[in-house]
Amino acid sequence: MVDAVIGENTVARPRRAAGRKGLRHALKRKSTAAFLMTLPLILLIVLLVVYPALYSVHLATLNKSMQRFVGLGNFEFLFKRDTFWLVVKQSCIFAITAVVFKALIGFIVAHFVHNIPAKGQRKWRGMLLVPWVIPPAMSTLAWLWLFDPSYSAFNYTLAFFGIGPIPWTGDAAWARFSVILVNVWYGAPFFMIMYLAALKSVPEQLYEAAAIDGANWWQRIWYVTLPMMRNIIAITTLFSLIVTFANFDIVRILTAGGPLDKTHIFATWAFRVGIEGSDIPLGASVSLFMVPILAVAAIFILRDVSKRGNES
């Protein structure tokens, strides 16, 4: 009996010691330290992102009065609604058109700023970033006044040239143009600053070599600048696509989805259905419909990022 006890102790001690040693090793490992350091952030993400996301999935499976489980019933219902498909179409038009123009304008302006002598460049950079720095809800209010149906400042100005009045937010086509314009105005500076950073990292020698080879302006852009900026263009475009798809404030303030639902996008229609119509499960289903679209975009981003990592 005594022997057995002694035997147990002699076995247990080295095990505990080995455990302590293992823990020490684990703590010394870089990956463990990294995990511990990111743990607060992970917890925050779980609390602020994962939980609400799961909760919205739960909501999307309930009936209108939130008392009965209906599975995918809300999605089935949505697929039968013309307005839903109108919103899908409009969200795509809105996001793709806005991102293309933001990228194009950002690219052109970044080149202009890049060519400004270093002394005055900071001032221009600061000024061009202003639209991006002002909270969009505030700047959109200013646009709302500019587009005001009855007292539009734009129409007042155009009247001097005998043009107009243009129904900026009263006609479906003009209303779509207006919301896209404001989104481009707000988002283009982000592209500009990203592209400017990318431009600055292109080695000057490449342009010199291209010049020696007799490359013209267009060839320098096509064969030197664009390949060097490829990654940043892809990441910025895809990132912006996600943000633009999920936009709410600009459309909500400028047109609230009208006229005749012709400017609704996912977020604004989800708000209309969920909050204004007191059908929270259906609103949750509308906003969740963005997930597969945005997930595809996110996969592209991550693939691009990892590819970039491998190349470097």
Q: Which residues pair with 38 in a beta bridge?
A: none
**Smallest separation, CB 161 to another protein (Å):** 20
Task: For residue 125, state whether it binds another protein (rule: CB under 8 A).
Answer: no
Question: Which residue among 86, 97, 164, 171 contacts another protein (CB under 8 A)?
Answer: 171
Q: What is the CA radius of gyration of the chain?
A: 27
Structural contact between residues 62 and 70, judged by C-beta atoms closer than 8 angstroms:
yes
Q: Is there a cis peptide before residue 203, judged by omega within 30 degrees of 0?
A: no
Site residues for another protein, window 31-70 (CB under 8 A)?
63-67
Q: Which stretch binds another protein (CB under 8 A): 23-31, 41-49, 143-151, 212-220?
A: 143-151
**Smallest separation, CB 259 to another protein (Å):** 4
Question: Which residue among 215, 242, 256, 305 contacts another protein (CB under 8 A)?
Answer: 256
**Smallest separation, CB 166 to another protein (Å):** 10
Instruction: Give SS3 for 29.
Output: coil
**Smallest separation, CB 279 to another protein (Å):** 7
Task: For residue 156, state whether it binds another protein (rule: CB under 8 A).
Answer: no
Q: What is the four-CA torsion angle of 287, 293, 295, 296, rounded to 10 degrees?
A: 180
Task: For residue 247, state whether it binds another protein (rule: CB under 8 A).
Answer: no
**Smallest separation, CB 170 to another protein (Å):** 4
Q: How many CB atoms sit inside 10 A of residue 168's CB?
A: 23
Site residues for another protein, window 182-241 (CB under 8 A)?
none
CA atoms within 13 A on the CB side of 24: 6
Question: Rounded CA gap, 213 and 191, in Å?
Answer: 31
CB nearer another protein, residue 233 or residue 282: 282
261 to 172, 175, 218, 251: CA distances (angstroms): 9, 11, 43, 11
Q: Which spans of this chain sit near another protein (rule: CB under 8 A)? A: 63-67, 77, 80-83, 149-151, 165, 167-171, 175, 255-261, 271-280, 282
